[in-house]
């Protein structure tokens, strides 16, 4: 990929895009108060906010000036980020000289990406999809290719990139049945936008068929499977750190139940179950890892309201080996893991895992993260974000999917009392992940041959 300037061309005029570029700023302005409130609440959004308008600090600009045109990868949030990082590793094995610009939308994904990505690669916030911003960013980044993870269809980004000769690829593409119904109403937009893209690597045949109906050229579609199955094993140091922390809380063996990426309401469900379970299973430790750590005060209030002994990880770090000390609470029943980037370590140390955003919210979180470490997994009925993967897990009996909070409690108690059943489910989960590996290499072949 040669080191040459990128001349950003304006795409062809169309009344549809004029309408989009008239309405989008109005919608963005209306959403700005909510966005500013989120920035204040979560904290991380305020940092580097100018990047969303294509303005970069000198030290970031210096990284962007490195030789060679990079591959720009856009990953909205944490789930897409995992796919992007796996794709980057696979692409670099084939093309060792590649460098990447990785953009994210959320502060959580951005913080994790900063921890994992090193120069010459660069992590930025995704720019606002306005013509003058996109022109500035494309001119500044000079991408050799643009890779969009899963279901990213930003009209101005795609149109200006394609008009400027930058190939645009979708990887790990998915269009759920629910999303498809909405996109069908916008087919007058998608049938003009999708033909501008160079390739589509889709998770399933159904995803490919739905995208083709929305206007993607069939000869550019490939069914590659889900890149989420190519998730690398949990780093040994992450698993060791989680186990060391749990051993510090209670040196004796305990049954560890992890509620991962939980959303409002799900912590209450798990805490209510724990209150009922503790008299018969006093050695149970519930580890709550909220999807958004800034909800710590809300989750703490729920724990305290039930009178459960707890430890909050952000205020009780593990003492260094040369300065040992006891935990702040002897034999806690709950650990609130309100830190960022440690979920997979706690998954690896768990005996049972509940994957959140699946009971009180729609969508679900990634079940492959605990599955890769052979953890027995429980999920609620709402796994709409993972339709193909959910079907795989259900067919392989690689998890236990429950319809409601009462059934979740029953299943948790059953696995406490029958740990062999739990371990067998975990073994099936790990075997399923291993059998579906390899999609990322196919995506690299289809997008960056």
**274/270 Cα distance (integer angstroms):** 6
Distances in Å between the Cα of 236 and the Cα atoms of 126, 233, 256, 261 are 31, 8, 18, 21
Dihedral sign computed on CA atoms, order 131, 136, 137, 141: positive
| Residue 80 known to be catalytic | yes
In sequence order, the 6+-apart residues with CB closer than 8 A to the CB of 168 are: 145, 146, 148, 158, 161, 162, 196, 197, 198
Q: Which of 355, 342, 335 is nearest to 260 (CA)?
A: 355
Q: Which two tokens stand for residue 435?
A: 């059998």
CB atoms within 10 A of CB 363: 16
Kindly report the backbone phi and psi dihedral angles of residue 177, in degrees, each rounded to the nearest multiple of 5, phi listed first: -60, -40
In order, the DSSP letters of 227-262 are GGGGPPPPPHHHHHHHHHHHHHH-SS--EEEEEEEE
Dihedral sign computed on CA atoms, order 366, 369, 374, 377: negative
In Å, how far from its chain's centre is CA 108?
A: 9
Residue of 80, 150, 152, 369 marked active site: 80
User: Facing residues of 19 across strands?
Assistant: none
Residues tagged active-site: 80
């Amino acid at each position: 990929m040669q080191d040459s300037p990128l001349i950003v061309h304006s795409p062809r005029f169309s009344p549809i895009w004029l309408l989009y570029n008239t309405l989008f700023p109005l919608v963005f302005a209306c959403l700005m108060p909510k966005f500013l409130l989120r920035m204040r609440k979560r904290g991380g959004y305020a940092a580097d906010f100018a990047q969303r308008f294509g303005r970069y600090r000198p030290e970031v600009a210096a990284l962007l000036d490195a030789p060679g045109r990079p591959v720009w990868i856009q990953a909205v949030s944490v789930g897409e980020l995992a796919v992007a990082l796996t794709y980057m590793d696979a692409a670099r094995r084939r093309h060792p000289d590649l460098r990447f610009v990785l953009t994210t939308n959320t502060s959580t994904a951005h913080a994790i990406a900063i921890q994992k990505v090193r120069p010459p690669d660069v992590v930025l916030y995704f720019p606002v999809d306005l013509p003058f911003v996109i022109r500035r960013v494309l001119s500044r980044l000079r991408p050799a290719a643009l890779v969009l993870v899963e279901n990213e269809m930003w009209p101005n980004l795609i149109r200006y990139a394609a008009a400027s000769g930058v190939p645009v690829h979708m990887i790990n593409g998915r269009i759920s049945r629910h999303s498809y119904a909405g996109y069908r109403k916008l087919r007058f937009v998608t049938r003009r936008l999708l033909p501008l893209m160079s390739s589509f690597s889709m998770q399933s045949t159904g995803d490919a068929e739905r995208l083709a109906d929305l206007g993607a050229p069939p000869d550019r579609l490939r069914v590659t499977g889900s890149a989420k199955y190519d998730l690398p094993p949990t780093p040994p140091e992450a698993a060791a750190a989680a186990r060391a922390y749990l051993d510090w809380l209670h040196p004796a063996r305990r049954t560890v139940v992890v509620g991962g990426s939980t959303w409002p309401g799900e912590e209450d469900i798990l805490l209510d179950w724990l209150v009922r379970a503790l008299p018969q299973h006093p050695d149970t430790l519930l580890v709550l890892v909220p999807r958004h750590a800034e909800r710590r005060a809300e989750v703490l209030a729920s724990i305290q309201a039930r009178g459960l002994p707890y430890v909050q990880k952000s205020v009780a770090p593990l003492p260094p080996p040369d300065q040992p000390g006891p935990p702040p609470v002897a034999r806690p029943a709950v650990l609130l893991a309100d830190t960022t980037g440690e979920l997979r370590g706690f998954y690896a140390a768990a005996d049972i895992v509940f994957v959140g955003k699946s009971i009180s919210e729609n969508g679900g979180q990634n079940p492959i993260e605990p599955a890769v470490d052979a953890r027995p997994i429980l999920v609620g009925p709402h796994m709409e974000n993972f339709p193909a993967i959910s079907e795989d897990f259900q067919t392989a009996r690689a998890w236990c999917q429950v319809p409601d909070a009462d059934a979740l409690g029953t299943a948790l108690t059953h696995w406490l009392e029958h740990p062999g059943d739990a371990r067998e489910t975990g073994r099936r989960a790990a075997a399923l992940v291993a059998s579906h590996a390899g999609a990322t290499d196919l995506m690299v072949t289809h997008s960056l041959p």
